[in-house]
Amino acid sequence: MSAQGHLQYVVDIAEELRKPTDSTNVQSLKAAADIHLRLIDKYLPSLKSVENTGEGGGPLQAALTVTFVESPNS
């Protein structure tokens, strides 16, 4: 993906839009950025959700150890 430069092109467009420009140029830049963002999405799909599972795909389990310590002043 980096060899094709899609991400860098989108970054360059974002920098270009920080400069004063006319609305026709803005529309052209937006269309170009949208095309490149769709290509990026093919390589790096948007993360819609995250599922956390335990070992072997089972539920997550947590272990908690509590140690009671007596104060020497007690």
Question: What tens digit of pLDDT does each residue of 25-35 get?
Answer: 889 888 988 88
Question: What's the average model confidence in pLDDT over 4-16?
Answer: 83
Q: For residue 17, which of 7, 25, 6, 8 has the smallest C-alpha distance?
A: 25
What pTM was computed for the model? 0.48
Dihedral, 23, 25, 28, 30 alpha carbons, nearest 10: -70
Residue appearing with tokens 């819609």: 48
Contact 52, 60 (CB under 8 A): yes
Both structure tokens of 54: 């335990």
